[in-house]
Amino acid sequence: MKQRKRIFYTAEQRALMWDRYHKGDSLADIARLFDRYHSSIEQIIAETGGIRPPERKRAKRSLSLSEREEISRGLVAQESVRSIAVRLSRSPSTISREINRNGGCQYYRASQADKAAWERAKRPKSCKLLCNKPLSQMVAKKLKRRWSPQQISGWLKRIFSSESFYVSHETIYKTLYIQARGALKKELVHCLRTQRVKRRSKHSSRKGLGQGKIVDAVPISERPASIEDRAIPGHWEGDLIEGCNNSYVATLVERHTRYVMLLKLKDKKTATVIAALIKQSKQLPSELYKSLTWDRGCEMNDHKEFTVATDIQIYLCDPQSPWQRGSNENTNRLLRQYLPKGTDLSVHSQAKLNAIARQLNERPRKTLDYESPADRFNACVAATERMSH
């Protein structure tokens, strides 16, 4: 195989790379534009953790490349510094300094001088986490507890009155992905729920799976509007997450409080799933379990048995419409931080799953104004008990 000649990408080519990367194109697709392999693009994207570098701009008073070329031509013609300065409408001292700092009259080269000027103009600003050690340590501690950067940012604003302890979630992400900042250790990237080492475009993955038909299913279009606005507690969303070796865990999320429950399953047969859901429903007050919205998976074939045993109505989403269970879909992404794809979920006991759910429920949530689901759900339980008395 003939070895490809090494190339150096221009600013325009790099801009095209970032444009295509943010649109969701794969590295291999981008590399084909330049007749390269994906590793050639990977090196550029990974250098800044998948975050596009800000565009650099020259100060208006700086010498341009065309002016430097004019200086170079003037030196070749043995013109005086003053005459070159007059032609460029510049101060003679500006031209003199430019020549002296770039090799003198004999060795001055316009392109080299311009490149050196760009390098000297760099003014890397220390990020906030590097300048504030206590804040950096606090952020690292919360990351180790599996808090997201957005949760950390919101929690800091709620707890501290001083702006010196405020930091945006974007700053935390950038400090993790761009290791040149030096404030947070690279290992903390694995505490993020995605565990990615670089930022990926939200358009880079699209899934579309067909769903089977469920007999006598009650579609989500028949769900009352009072459930839709999340104002009343007691309405849940559910789904299964899958691991290797045919292992499964059922996930339940309460729409009003975002409270999470996890159920260990030996398989995904409808009898197994329905029996587990019926058993779990007995542990909650009837006022806090009024309906369940589920995906159109085959595990819901016996949905009528659940409704007969619990008097809880099951509503099934439309095919290929996961956004209709938005809280549950988001929770499943959070759970992959604890139950990664491709792992055997059967090794986790129900006690372990309860501990994971407890940790999720104790996290502050932006949608709850950084109150935790546990606090919100416990308040609902207390209100229910007061009404019963």
Residue 209 in this model has a pLDDT that exceeds 60 = no
Q: Is the pTM of this model over 0.85?
A: no
Query: How high is the pLDDT of residue 208?
Result: 43
pLDDT digits (tens, 9 = 90+) for 51-105: 888 877 888 888 999 999 999 999 999 999 999 999 999 999 999 999 999 999 9
| Average pLDDT of span 23-39 | 86
Distance from C-alpha of 96 to C-alpha of 341, rounded to nearest angstrom: 64
Helix (H, G, I), strand (E, B) or coil at 85: helix
Lowest-pLDDT range, 36-50, 105-119, 206-220, 335-349?
Answer: 206-220
pLDDT digits (tens, 9 = 90+) for 241-283: 999 988 999 999 999 999 999 999 999 999 999 999 999 999 9
pLDDT bin (cut points 50, 70, 90) of residue 294 is very high
Distance from C-alpha of 194 to C-alpha of 90, rounded to nearest angstrom: 54
Range 220-388 classified under CATH 3.10.20.30: no
b/e per residue, 134-173, with b = 16+ CB within 10 A? ebbebbbebbeebbbbbbbbbbbeeeeeeeebebeeebbb
Q: Which residues contact 211 (CB under 8 A, 6 or more apart)?
A: 295, 296, 297, 319, 320
pLDDT bin (cut points 50, 70, 90) of residue 137 is very high
Lowest-pLDDT range, 20-24, 136-140, 202-206?
Answer: 202-206
Distance from C-alpha of 131 to C-alpha of 125, rounded to nearest angstrom: 10
Distance from C-alpha of 380 to C-alpha of 256, rounded to nearest angstrom: 10
Q: Which residues contact 295 (CB under 8 A, 6 or more apart)?
A: 211, 239, 316, 317, 322, 325
- Residue spans of the domains in the chain: they are 11-47, 65-120, 128-191, 220-388
Could you tell me what percent of the chain has a pLDDT over 70? 95
With CA atoms as reference, report the closest residue to 291 among 234, 329, 222.
234
